[in-house]
Structure 1
Amino acid sequence: MGGGQSHPSVTEDLLEDYTTLTYLSKGEILYLMKKFKSIDPDKVLADYQHRFSRDKIIQKFDVLRNNPFQDRIFRVFSSKRDDSFSFEDLLDLCSAMSADCPPDVRATWAFRIYDLDEDNQITERDICEIIDRLLDTKKNDQNKLDDESKKKISKNILDEIKLDHSDGISLGEFKYILARFPEFETSFYFRM
């Protein structure tokens, strides 16, 4: 950042680029860089684009620790789909989860996370797994719903939401529905 360098890994030009390309402020970006760098300062100084494993990222970013969609978040936001994050991957995630991210953009990221089988639609199978994740059935078997109940819930959701009478919810339908739920903006977001 020239003579008044406040962070050794981010040049002023790069910081400007990041603020232009994300919904984050300079302060938020520098804060994220500081936390990211603290995972292993030598690795980040040697290679600014170093990729840290999911475990290392979660150790520093508690907000991801208990998220039932943690695996999907890493799948969707990992630019190399290797379950690891570079600093820019982390910026993408934090930008998408920022309070300043437009609902339409946030809905697109949410769709990608909830499209568990990555077939470009949220189907009954996706919804059944989403229910299991939200009920945390891996940790607590008492919360588990039987398959028939999950299918009934999925069918009701699909009947209410899908507009084109297909087998699933498309990205366009997902955005259309979420635009009518003001709670989405406060529920699909986190603070750094």
Structure 2
Amino acid sequence: MFRQLSECHLPPVVERECAASLTVPYAALDTLTELKENPFRRRVCEVFSTNASASLTFDQFLEMFSVFSEHAPRDIKAIYAFKIYDFDGDGFLGESDLLHAVKHLSHDLLTPDEYSTIVAKVLEEADVDCDGRLSQSEFIHVILKCPDFVPNFHIRI
């Protein structure tokens, strides 16, 4: 799959040292059936990429598909879900992160009042220490109770 998405022509066998420098641009990943309908597809790529090049290396590509595998541990899935929702990268899910996530999920079809209500309810239910944001542990505690989380947090290839 990486070979199909890579912009450069790859030989049948690639040495490990060379594989580290091969990349797939985010735009190519957008064409994958497994990702193209995901409203977080760009954010997923950003979380797994360690540089600002708008691309994934082969190792990052493998890590992404490993985390989204049906066989990945649910705790690992929850950690990466948190990272995907932490849009500002501050290690917490604040109101702006939650609003951003809800807008992605709803495709911007709700009213401002509806967004505010949803964000307030999420914080009311999950913010154990009442600091107005969700820590990673608060998020994981809640998300692992959701029966649809693990079955839906995967990519089949």
Q: What secondary structure sits across from 2:62 in the alignment?
A: helix
Matched, 1:38 2:4: yes
Tell me which structure has the larger Cα radius of gyration.
Answer: 1
The residue that corresponds to 2:44 in the other structure is: 73
Q: 1:182 to 1:38 in 2, by over 3 A?
A: same
**Structure 2 residues not aligned, in runs of 5+:** none
> Could you report, residue by residue, the CA deviation over 1:73-105 in whole angstroms, capped at 9, with x for unpaired residues?
111011324220111111111111111111111
Cα distance in 1 for partners of 2:130, 2:98 equals 17
Q: 1:40 to 1:156 in 2, by over 3 A?
A: closer
Q: 1:155 to 1:109 in 2, by over 3 A?
A: same
Query: Larger % of helix: which?
Result: 1
Is 2:30–2:41's contact at 8 Å kept on the other side of the alignment? no
Residue of 67, 83, 92 corresponding to 1:112: 83
Residue of 24, 30, 36 corresponding to 1:58: 30
Cα distance in 2 for partners of 1:161, 1:107 equals 14
Is 1:57–1:85's contact at 8 Å kept on the other side of the alignment? no
The number of equivalent residue pairs is: 151
Cα distance in 1 for partners of 2:34, 2:115 equals 28
TM-score by length of 1: 0.72
Q: Which has the higher contact order (CA 8 A, sep 6+)?
A: 2
Q: What secondary structure sits across from 2:119 in the alignment?
A: helix
**Structure 1 residues not aligned, in runs of 5+:** 1-34, 138-142
Q: What secondary structure sits across from 2:30 in the alignment?
A: helix
Aligned residue identity for 1:56: A
What CA RMSD, in Å, does the superposition of the two structures yield over aligned residues?
Answer: 1.8
Q: 1:48 to 1:161 in 2, by over 3 A?
A: same
Q: 1:175 to 1:72 in 2, by over 3 A?
A: same
The residue that corresponds to 1:188 in the other structure is: 153
Aligned pairs (5 A) from 1:87-98: 87-98=58-69
Deviation at 1:41, TM superposition (A): 8.2
Q: What secondary structure sits across from 2:104 in the alignment?
A: helix
